[in-house]
Amino acid sequence: MSEPGARTADSPHVTELKHREAGLSDDDVLGMYRQMLLARAVDERMWLMQRAGKIAFVISGQGHEAAQVGTAWPMRRNQDWMAPFYRSIASVLTFGMTPEDIVSAHLAKGDDVSSGGRQMPGHYGAKRYNIVSLSSPVGTQVLHAVGIAMGAWVRGEDVVAITSFGEGTSNQGEVHEAMNFAGVHRLPVIFVCENNGYAISVPLDRQVGGLSVSARAHGYGFPGVTVDGSDPIACYVAAKEAHDRAQRGEGPSLIETRVVRLTSHSSDDDQRRYRDPAEVEVLREHDPIMLFGNRLAAAGLLTEVNDNALRAEVKAEVNAASVHAEARPDPDPATAERWVYAEGAD
């Protein structure tokens, strides 16, 4: 895993934690930090496995961890629903998936919980966790989340749906339709845009007129906020407020988290071909794990010793997950059509 950054109380950009004002305990914020480390470690392990030829493709959540852990934190497991996107490793881990589930899916193992080896890597989804599988056309998950929220409202169930997507995706027609419909019917749904400034190679100013995704919420009749996506506490506060609103029957919210994409778009891409080398050079200074670690250290909650202990624990967890995932059976070719076509159909 990436080495911890320099840890001093007077490091630049260290802002006060103020987690207690947000209703979070010391254990909560350390738990968030651990979850971010875990997501990063799983992610980095999959890059290694991809480079070793064991998995076909990786699409990474590195740089998005604080936004994902913070926004998933208020969601109630086994009650709420999540419609994630391909970078959502930290979101789905926070909502109950395990590192082994994620690695098994990337290895396309026969008993992988997401699809039994049918889906592309990064296509998270498992009924047992209330996570809907995403489809490759970007933005479809936003409609799914609105549909889930509508279903819950019709049945009178206390369910909140959360969905996440990139700022490039926010321009797809169905995303506007989904948000407008949710606004009209005041559905219990939280829209999380993880704005990393690029849609593959296309920068923000070539994608978003006005440069703000959250500003659009006003037009759909619900609140939109922009938060620092390297601050899991700020993301949590926005998501908690959105969750409370949804539960009170006040309808949807849109949260735009400003994040960095620390890696290339995917393992098939090389961002040095379209990003300014100086910009790529300084990306690591925006690493949310380093920034949050510095703030925890400045607040006296993280020392080098417990940071190293946490990292060792997480590494052992990911080692065990990959060993177990690799030992799982590959799918039986005779079952290739299972879960693709209705069984018993002609």
Please give the residue ranges that form the binding site for Mg ion (CB under 5 A).
166-168, 196, 199
- Separation of alpha carbons 200 and 12, rounded Å: 30
Closest CB to ligand TPP among residues 194, 317: 194
User: Distance from CA of residue 67 to its chain's centroid?
Assistant: 7
Tokens describing residue 15: 């802002």
- Separation of alpha carbons 3 and 66, rounded Å: 17
Q: Shortest distance, CB of residue 269 to ligand TPP, whole angstroms? A: 10
Q: What does the radius of gyration of the chain's CA atoms come to, in whole angstroms? A: 20
Closest CB to Mg ion among residues 118, 258: 258
Closest CB to ligand TPP among residues 74, 122: 122
- Separation of alpha carbons 340 and 51, rounded Å: 29
Q: Shortest distance, CB of residue 39 to ligand TPP, whole angstroms? A: 15
The DSSP output letter for 132 is P
Q: Shortest distance, CB of residue 205 to ligand TPP, whole angstroms? A: 13
Count residues contacting ligand TPP (CB under 6 A)? 15
Q: Shortest distance, CB of residue 156 to Mg ion, whole angstroms? A: 37
Closest CB to ligand TPP among residues 167, 287: 167
Q: Which SS3 state, helix, strand or coil, does residue 226 take?
A: strand
Q: According to CB under 6 A, which residues from 108 to 137 bind ligand TPP?
A: 136-137
Residue 166 engages ligand TPP in binding (rule: CB under 6 A): yes
Residues 6 or more apart whose Cβ sits within 8 Å of residue 85: 134, 138, 141, 164, 165, 166, 169, 194
- Separation of alpha carbons 182 and 145, rounded Å: 10
CB 28 within 8 A of CB 19: yes
Strand runs (DSSP E) across 31-169, as ranges?
A: 81-83, 161-166
Q: Shortest distance, CB of residue 192 to ligand TPP, whole angstroms? A: 12
Residue 71 engages ligand TPP in binding (rule: CB under 6 A): no
Q: Of 9, 184, 200, 312, which one interacts with ligand TPP (CB under 6 A)? A: 200
Residue 144 engages ligand TPP in binding (rule: CB under 6 A): no
Show the CA angle centred on residue 179, arms to residues 201 and 130, nearest 5°: 85
Instruction: List residues bridging with 189 in a β-sheet.
Output: 161
- Separation of alpha carbons 166 and 164, rounded Å: 7
Q: Shortest distance, CB of residue 169 to Mg ion, whole angstroms? A: 8
Q: Of 102, 138, 291, 318, which one interacts with ligand TPP (CB under 6 A)? A: 138
Q: Of 112, 167, 231, 317, which one interacts with ligand TPP (CB under 6 A)? A: 167
Q: Shortest distance, CB of residue 345 to ligand TPP, whole angstroms? A: 28
Burial class (CB in 10 A: 0-12, 13-18, 19+), 262: buried
Q: Shortest distance, CB of residue 86 to ligand TPP, whole angstroms? A: 7
| Partner touching 169 among Mg ion, ligand TPP, none, CB below 5 to 8 Å by kind | ligand TPP
Strands 198-199 and 202-203: antiparallel
Closest CB to ligand TPP among residues 67, 298: 67
Per-residue binder mask for ligand TPP (CB under 6 A), 84-103, x = binder:
---x----------------
Closest CB to Mg ion among residues 84, 99: 84
Residue 191 engages ligand TPP in binding (rule: CB under 6 A): no
CB 86 within 8 A of CB 114: no
- Separation of alpha carbons 37 and 23, rounded Å: 22
Which position's Cβ is nearest ligand TPP?
166
Please report, as ranges, the residues that interact with ligand TPP according to CB under 6 A: 87, 136-138, 165-169, 196, 198-200, 261, 265
